[in-house]
C-alpha cells in the first residue's frame, strides 16, 4: 500500500465537506488529502450506508472520519471504510457539540484515553487501511501539555501512528461548537513539543491556519497541516497547494488553470448529479467563496444564491454567474 502524503489536508466539517464539496476541491488540488464530514457509527450500521459512504473516484486520496466510542461498532465501520475503498479511517476525538457528547462521541473522549486506545486497536484489527485520530489539546481543566502527551502516548500504544491535533482545547459546557473553534486560544507550541517528544509519530496541526505562509512555517516543525474553514470560505487557496506542498506536483509542469475553468469543469458532474435528484444549489453553494476579493465576486454569489435552488437550474446558471467575474 502506498503511504499517504499528509503534508496538506482539508478538515472534516459538518454540512460543508460533503462529496459535492470534495469533488469541487479536487478540481483545485489533485494531491491534498480530503476528509469527509464526520459520520457516526450508528448512521452507518443502522442508516442508509450508501448515502453516507458513496463518493466519486476523483476524490482520492480520501479519508472517512467516524464518530463513535464502541470498539466493536467502530471496528465494523472501519471495515466498511476499507470495503468502500477509502484511503484512511479517522476517529473523531475533537467535536465539542452537546449532541455528540451525550452519545460519548468527540472531544469528551479525551477524558478516556484507555477507551480511545481500545477503539483504535479494534479498528486496526478489522482493517488494513491506516487508522488515525483527530483530537484537541485538551478539554475543560484537563488542558495541560502533559495531559495531551499522555493521551497521545496511550493511544499510540494501541498502534495509532498518526495524530491530527486541533491546537485548541474544547470547553464542553458553556460554549457552542462555533465558539469552541474560536474562543479557546491556539497553542501551536503544544503540538510542536509533542512532535519533539514523540518523533516516531506523524503529527499534523489543525486550527486557525489561514495562509500558506503560516502553514509552511508549521511544516518546519511538523509532518502536515490540515486547513478547514479557510479552505471552504476561500477555496482559491487550494490552487497553490500541489505546487507548494507536494514535490512530485511541483516538478511536473502544468498548464495554468483559471478559476472560471475550475467552475466549467464541474458542468458534466452537475448534469450527472441533477440526473440523480440533486439540485444545483447542493453543488454551487460550495463555490461561493472562489472569487473572493475579485471584481464581481459579490454578484457571482448573489446570482447563485438567488437562482441555484430553482427547479431546472443547471450549468447555464453557473455560466451566467461567471459573466460577473470574467
Task: Report the alpha-carbon distance of residue 151 to residue 205 in Å, rounded.
Answer: 16
What residues are labeled active site? 95
Could you report the per-residue pLDDT of 9-61, keeping only the tens digit for each? 999 999 999 999 999 999 999 999 999 999 999 999 999 999 999 999 999 99
DSSP output for 11-53: PP-TTTSSHHHHHHHHHH-SSSEEEEEEEEHHHHHHS-HHHHH
Task: Report the alpha-carbon distance of residue 326 to residue 312 in Å, rounded.
Answer: 24
Task: Report the alpha-carbon distance of residue 90 to residue 84 in Å, rounded.
Answer: 14
Cβ atoms 120, 133 nearer than 8 A: yes
- As averages over each run of 10 residues, the pLDDT of the chain (326 residues) reads 89 97 97 97 96 97 97 98 98 83 85 97 98 97 96 98 97 86 93 98 98 98 98 97 83 74 98 97 98 97 98 97 96
Could you report the per-residue pLDDT of 103-122, keeping only the tens digit for each? 789 999 999 999 999 999 99
Amino acid at each position: 500500500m502506498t503511504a499517504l502524503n499528509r503534508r496538506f489536508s482539508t478538515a472534516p466539517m459538518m454540512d460543508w465537506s460533503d462529496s459535492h464539496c470534495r469533488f469541487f476541491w479536487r478540481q483545485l488540488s489533485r494531491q491534498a488529502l480530503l476528509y469527509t464530514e464526520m459520520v457516526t457509527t450508528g448512521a452507518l450500521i443502522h442508516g442508509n450506508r450508501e448515502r453516507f459512504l458513496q463518493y466519486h473516484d476523483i476524490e482520492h486520496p480520501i479519508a472517512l472520519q467516524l464518530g463513535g466510542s464502541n470498539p466493536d461498532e467502530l471496528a465494523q465501520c472501519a471495515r466498511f471504510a476499507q470495503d468502500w475503498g477509502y484511503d484512511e479511517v479517522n476517529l473523531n476525538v475533537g467535536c465539542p457539540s452537546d449532541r455528540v457528547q451525550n452519545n460519548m462521541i468527540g472531544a469528551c473522549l479525551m477524558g478516556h484515553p484507555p477507551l480511545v486506545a481500545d477503539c483504535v486497536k479494534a479498528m486496526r484489527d478489522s482493517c488494513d487501511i491506516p487508522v488515525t485520530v483527530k483530537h484537541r489539546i485538551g478539554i475543560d481543566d484537563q488542558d495541560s501539555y502533559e495531559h495531551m502527551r499522555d493521551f497521545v502516548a496511550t493511544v499510540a500504544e494501541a498502534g495509532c501512528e498518526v495524530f491530527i491535533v486541533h491546537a485548541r482545547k474544547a470547553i464542553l459546557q458553556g460554549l457552542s461548537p462555533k465558539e469552541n473553534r474560536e474562543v479557546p486560544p491556539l497553542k501551536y507550541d503544544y503540538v510542536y513539543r509533542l512532535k519533539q517528544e514523540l518523533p516516531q509519530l506523524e503529527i499534523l496541526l489543525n486550527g486557525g491556519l489561514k495562509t500558506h505562509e503560516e502553514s509552511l512555517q508549521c511544516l518546519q516543525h511538523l509532518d502536515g497541516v490540515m486547513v478547514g474553514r479557510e479552505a471552504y470560505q476561500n477555496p482559491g487557496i487550494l490552487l497553490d497547494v500541489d505546487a507548494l506542498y507536494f514535490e512530485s506536483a511541483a516538478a511536473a509542469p502544468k498548464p495554468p488553470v483559471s478559476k472560471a475553468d475550475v467552475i466549467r469543469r464541474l458542468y458534466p458532474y452537475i448534469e450527472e448529479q441533477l440526473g440523480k435528484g440533486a439540485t444545483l444549489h447542493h453543488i454551487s453553494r460550495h463555490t461561493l467563496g472562489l472569487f473572493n476579493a475579485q471584481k464581481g465576486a459579490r454578484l457571482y454569489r448573489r446570482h447563485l444564491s438567488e437562482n441555484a435552488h430553482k427547479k431546472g437550474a443547471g450549468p447555464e446558471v453557473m455560466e451566467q454567474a461567471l459573466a460577473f467575474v470574467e
